Structure 1
């Protein structure tokens, strides 16, 4: 009886230990999935998400190597995220590696079936199988990443020991693949939105330039010719027809005023000096024409690409208009410079705009087409914009546009 009771207690203890271990495993897995879900929800860059997916999945599964793979055209695949356990052999395929799909490998198996699969021993003689064996990979489990009903890639967990990965590995990998797919879908949506916004802004700029050119080359020239003809008619009218001469003179003056207004309008659409001389001279002309005093500080060693110059010009032009019409400011301070001037890599350079006025403040970036339009224009080329406008404290607009 005592022996049976002792055996029963041991069984109960073993069951409790197993339950505790299983609960700890589930808790660890859920914590890893929550961390990844947070990254996805905050629209983290794909590179960061892929690296985190590989790390979290590897640690949860107890694998030696994990890999995030993207399928490419012509039956090829590329490594986009990787992790390996401390002390394990070199990673299966470093990030950036590309290979041709090869029969007998897990990447080829998942590509053909579109379903989870495993390879318990890499025995093939092809270059990929040979490379994997050389890197210490014995077996692998793959799980497909499906984005928008299309097979995008797969997650791979690999072992460097003769023992294959546990039977439930495929099931435990599914949630990681779903988070990777969500991150890819988010990135695609963000990229599509940015591209669409950029196309809209570019189309608007092209339309402005075309209208300005048409006004200058066609309408404006015709009005100038008509004005000259009216002056000729005025000069040809005999002096005894004073009233008729006066009417002709009035018509000629009206045409001259219309030409001046048209020139002003065309300069607002797309100033010629911006295209010919660059941002600094265009801003100086803009400052002189502003009804509000402008303190201008432009520090540029060279001309910026056209889209950056156009964006900066219209942002500053709109800000000056707002300062005059809505802020009732007496002075506006405008600063333009390029941060990271000594850096060769354009990714580390950025155009910085700062527009500060001493007006009434209270500007709301979420209302009014002006500030919303500025936000769209800045974000269309990958920049960021912030507006600080406390009541009675003036308005500060700052924008940063990476030169990438």
Structure 2
């Protein structure tokens, strides 16, 4: 049985769309974002509402392939397909787009998307260590601040930016607290429901209302834990899910793990808890510097080397008593595909745990083949 409050998370998207309409009617702006590297605190401080844009379903990919090559990551093709078909309500509501150079495919796709709506591209340094990378990223924050002020007609004030930083930090703390419930022997929240909670954050127009929902969920999870309520059978293999981001429409691997009897105790990927343990320093005289330091620490596979991802995985494996790791790579996502070797070596050699690397796309054509592989993997653990 699911937590009762999950119904509110599922309805949150409709409420957010209504809020966006009211915000725009009042003269406000909406920023479409695609990635964790977009500093949403800065967007909100400029008076705009950031919303995560669609890109996790197969339907619009055929439209995208009229322009983009077929042998490209499905996330990129889906994102662009939604844009050119205007079938994502959040893209339709967006006044401008924030892009980032996390991979070459997205970088070139953003060139084409910039023909549809105003688009600002943040240029990422690919080495998070050292002062040069931080100095460069601070300048990118300053450049983004100028773009946002130009688009919204509103200056970003230090006091408001610090307020938004505190609010985002509070949400991150609540999400991290929710994720920690799965350390227990009886896991009270499924991976699919955790995905829904995280997706609500990415499309939520009112962060304070979202924080209220999170606190209600925490209360219900506390009650479920006290009563010994679990979302899995006794002895179910405890799985860490890592790799590329997933969402509604591209959750097939996540769903198969749970259908086959595994329990997702943690999701390290971008639609999981990646970055939720990273807080921005509060009440500083230079909040842009503080934002730059925090966002540069996100352990994305676009970073080289990416030791922070292994550090995060190490902590999750130990804290959540993980028994196996499933690493998902979308086809043609080269950074995560190459890094899968490092992750597998780290998991199997350092921790002595079995791992399963899955490379797939958004289609359902390989679902039964994947089911067979996942069933065999879980039997190996059991």
The answer to which structure has the higher strand fraction is 1
TM-score by length of 2: 0.21
Structure having greater relative contact order (Cα 8 Å, sep ≥ 6): 2
